[in-house]
A and B are shown apart, each in its own frame.
Chain A
C-alpha cells in the first residue's frame, strides 16, 4: 500500500446530542474511503469558536471547546481501534466574528484548503448559532466551494425526535392563525375583502417564516397555559415597572444623585431562548437594573443602586418568569443568592 495521497475528512463539531454517533460514522467513512483509494485516513475535527468581544469568561469557553475536542479525539481513536487513522483537532475562527451560515462555511472551507481536505462530514444536529436552523444552508455553501459533503445518519434513538417534525404542521398553522388574527385585528372588519387579503398575507408569512420563527414544536395546551399565566404576569410586571419609575425619578431628581452603579453577572435558572428573553427584558424594565448582555442563560446586568442588586438576586422576577413558562412547581427553585450560597458552601 503506497500512501502518497492523503484525503482528509473535515468534521465541524459542537456540543450536540448526536455527536458521539457522528464521530463513529465519520471514522468508518474515513477508513472506508482510505481503503478504496489506498490513501492514509485522516480526520480533522474543528470547532469554530468565533470572536465575541463582550465575552468576559473567554478562557472558560476556550477550555470547554478544547475539552470537547479532546473528548472527540479520544472517541475517534477508540472507534478506529487498530486501524491507521490520523486524528487532528483544531479551534478555528478564534479571531473573527461569525454570524451567517456563509461566514461559517467560509472559515470551514479556508481550513479545508489549508489542510488539503476534500471532504466534509456534518453532524445532523450541528447548530453552532443555536437559534435558527443553519445546517442546510451551511452544507450548501460548503458544497459549492467544491468539497464532498456528507451528513451522518440519525440513529434510531434520534429518529424519535425526528418524528416530532410532523408537529411542524401544527407550527405552520399556529403561525398562520396568529398572523391571520393579527391582520383581522388591524383591519377591524370581517368583510370578504379583508378575509381574503388577510389569508393571503398570513399564508405568505407562514410559508416564508414557519421554519424560522417557531423553532420548537407547538403544544397547544401548554401554549394556552403559558398565555394564561402570562396574563397573570403582566400586572405584576406593570407594578414592578411603576415602582421602578418612581425609584428612578427619585434618584434622578435627588440633588446628591445617590447611585452606586455596578455590573453583576449571574446564571439565570431559565432554559430556553424565549424565557431568557422575557427575563432579560423584564430585568431591564424593573427597578435599577439593565440587562447588558446575554449568552444563553448567562446574564450580565448593570445595576444602578445596591438595593436594586439585592432585589435582582432575591430572584422574584426570575421566579415569576419560571412560573409563566414552566408552571408553579418550577417557581420554587432557589433564588440566585441561595444558589450562590449553596455553591460556596460546597466548595
Chain B
C-alpha cells in the first residue's frame, strides 16, 4: 500500500466513525436541539473527512480544488441548516429538554 492509500483509508475510516457517531447521537440524544448538535458537528466532520479522502486520492490537481470548494460549502451550509431547523423549532415554541436538577 502506498502512503497515499493509507491516508485515504485513514480519512475514510474517520469519516465512517463520525458519521456513525452522528447517527448514534441522533438516536440517543433527548430533543431536537441536542440532536441538532450531533447532526451539525459530527455530520460535518464526517462529510469533510470523506471529501478529504476523495481529494487525497485525486492528488494535486484541478479536481482537488473543486473538492476543496465543496468542503468549504459544507462548512457554510451545514451549520446554517442546523440553525434553520432549530430556529424553526424555537418559533414553534418547542422547549429545550433540560436535566431535572437545573431550573
Contacts and interface: CB of A to CB of B under 8 A. Distances in A.
Interface residues on B, range: 35 or more
A304 interface: yes
Contact of A248 (B25, B66, B80, B92): B25
Interface in B43-72: 44-45, 62, 65-66, 69
B13 interface: no
Contacts of A333: none
Contacts of A54: 87, 90-91
B41 A292 contact: no
Contacts of B65: 185, 188
A156 interface: no
Interface residues of A, number: 32
A285 B75 contact: yes
A263 interface: yes
Given A281-B80, A304-B34, A241 B41 contact: yes
Contacts of B36: 290, 302
A252 B96 contact: no
A253 B26 CA distance: 11
Chain B interface helix/strand/loop/mixed: helix
A252 B83 contact: no
B7 interface: no
B41 A188 contact: no
B40 to A, nearest CB: 6
Contact of A260 (B38, B41, B102): B102
A259 interface: yes
B96 A263 contact: yes
Given A253-B24, A260-B102, A284-B82, A248 B37 contact: yes
Nearest to A56: B90
Nearest to A306: B102
A249 B38 CA distance: 9
Given A188-B62, A281-B79, A248 B21 contact: yes
A292 B18 CA distance: 23
B33 A261 contact: yes
Given A248-B41, A249-B18, A259-B29, 5 more contacts: A54-B87, A261-B97, A261-B99, A290-B83, A292-B86
A126 to B, nearest CB: 26
A11 interface: no
A291 B93 contact: no
B29 A245 contact: no
Contacts of B69: 185-186
A261 B96 contact: yes
Interface in A24-60: 52-54
A245 B33 contact: no
Contact of B98 (A188, A261, A284, A288): A261
A292 B83 contact: yes
A260 B99 contact: yes
Given A285-B41, A285-B44, A252 B90 contact: no
B95 to A, nearest CB: 9
A290 B86 contact: yes
A312 B62 CA distance: 38
B37 A304 contact: yes
Interface string A196-222: 000000000000000000000000000
B21 A260 contact: no
A285 B90 contact: no
A200 B98 CA distance: 54
A236 to B, nearest CB: 14
A15 to B, nearest CB: 24
Contact of A245 (B18, B30, B31): B18
